[in-house]
Structure formats: C-alpha cells, structure tokens
C-alpha cells in the first residue's frame, strides 16, 4: 500500500490564483481530513469527510472547498490564494468513519506571494 | 472533549526511557487517551491509545492512572529519531467527528 499520498510536494502561487491540492489513499478508509500547519504553529483542521459524498467544516474552513466523489480521493481547493494561506497542508485518513487513528500524508508546502 | 495539559518541552538522553506526562482531569467515562507524534516537517504519526488498562505496542507503552485523570507515554529506549512533538488527545472512541491537536510536548533526545 502507498498509504496517503499528496501532490504536489511544493507549490508557489501568486495572490488570487486558485489551485487544487490532491490527496489519495489506497487503504479503503472512510474518514479523510485536511489540516494546515503554519510555520512554528500547531495543526488546525480545515475540512473532513466521513465518506464519499459527505464533507463538513473544521476549525478554519474559510477560503477552501472540498469534495469527496470517491472513497480514495479528497482534493482541497484554494479558491483565491492569499498570503495568509502560506502553510504546510496535511491530508489524513482513518479506518471507519471516525478520526481516532489517522494516517497522515507527507504534506504539501504552499507559499503564496 | 476533555482538555489535556502537557509540559511544553522535555529532554531525554539517548538510550534512556522517555516518560511523557499528560493531565486530563476532566476525562469522561467513554473517552480514550490517544497519543500522536510529529517528527520535524513530517505528518503526524499515531502511536497508541487506551481507556483504562495499560497498553503496549512496538512503539511505546501507555500508563493510565486508576482514576484516569492522567497518563504517561513511555518510550523505553529513546533514540535520536524519537525527537518530535508528542500530542496527548482525549476522544470518545468511535463517535468523535474531529480530532484536534493541542500544543504537545517537544521531546529532545540528546547524545
């Protein structure tokens, strides 16, 4: 199993640009989530999903959209990038529909100029 | 979910046991204690969880006090690769929708 994969590893955007961060898992996990971690700071939950077709907001959802059309994929869309969204983005998945024991991806390092 | 309190930082000599404490005095009867760690620039990693009995796996041991108000994560023979931020999290097992990370304990393992 590849586990949780994230692409790209690094990305630089200009203010106002949009992009999609990709996340995929091959463990047939129902639960998936997105966190962001600002430099020197803690992890904050952006959005999560308990299964295909179901998504919900976390602590910091503004400026981000998600969708879950398949069990495997959970892309995160930045609608209009802002410098405040410069961060490392981690995707995770967990067996079942709960976040108890999550497997995290390697992260996407995003810089918005 | 119950709040947890952890020391901001700890040091440990390589080869010695690292004992990381966590206070969760408001824990409810259906809440479990989970531990994760985050090695620098990597995604967090699940370590272990428990309800009231001591638990052990290939990574660590978890000791929960009888009153369940505190717990200790034990890395029996710490190595330099165990240097990381360790997070203690309390969750109702099987029913939570979100997992929130606090500030954790930064463990520095030294030669």
Q: Residue A99 and residue B97: Cβ atoms within 8 Å?
A: yes
Tell me, what's the pLDDT at B1?
62
Tell me, what's the pLDDT at A36?
98
pLDDT tens sequence for chain A (113 residues): 789 999 999 999 999 999 999 999 999 999 999 999 998 889 999 999 999 999 999 999 999 999 999 999 999 999 999 999 999 999 999 998 999 999 999 999 999 99
Of the candidates B94, B97, B102, the beta carbon closest to that of A42 is on B102
Q: How would you classify the pairing of strands B45-50 and B31-38?
A: antiparallel
Q: Residue A42 and residue B104: Cβ atoms within 8 Å?
A: yes
On chain A, the residues whose CB falls within 8 A of the CB of B102 are 42
Q: Which residue has the tokens 């969880």?
A: B49
Q: Give the contacts of A107 (CB within 8 A, at least 6 positions apart).
A: A6, A9, A37, A88, A89, A90, B41, B42, B43
Tell me, what's the pLDDT at B2?
67
Residues of chain B with pLDDT under 50: none
Q: Measured at the alpha carbon of residue B106, what is the angle toward residues B102 and B111, in degrees to the nearest 5?
A: 165
């Amino acid at each position: 199993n590849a586990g949780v994969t994230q692409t790209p590893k690094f990305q630089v955007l200009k203010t106002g640009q949009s992009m999609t961060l990709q996340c995929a898992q091959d463990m047939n996990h129902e639960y998936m989530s997105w966190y962001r971690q600002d430099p020197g700071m803690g992890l904050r939950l952006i959005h999560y999903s308990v299964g295909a077709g179901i998504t919900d907001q976390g602590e910091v959802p503004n400026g981000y959209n998600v969708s879950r059309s398949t069990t495997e994929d959970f892309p995160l869309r930045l609608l209009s990038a802002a410098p405040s969204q410069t961060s490392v983005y981690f995707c995770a998945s967990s067996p079942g529909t709960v976040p108890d024991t999550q497997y995290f991806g390697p992260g996407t390092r995003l810089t918005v100029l | 979910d119950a709040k947890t309190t952890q020391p901001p930082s700890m040091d440990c000599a390589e080869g010695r046991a690292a004992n990381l404490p966590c206070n969760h005095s408001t824990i409810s009867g259906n809440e479990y204690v989970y531990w994760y760690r985050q090695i620098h620039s990597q995604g967090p990693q699940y370590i272990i969880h428990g309800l009231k009995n001591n638990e052990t796996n290939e990574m660590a041991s978890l000791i929960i006090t009888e009153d369940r108000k505190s717990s200790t994560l034990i890395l029996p023979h710490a190595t330099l690769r165990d240097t990381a931020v360790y997070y203690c999290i309390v969750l109702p097992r099987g029913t939570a929708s979100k997992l929130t990370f606090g500030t954790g304990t930064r463990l520095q393992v030294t030669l």
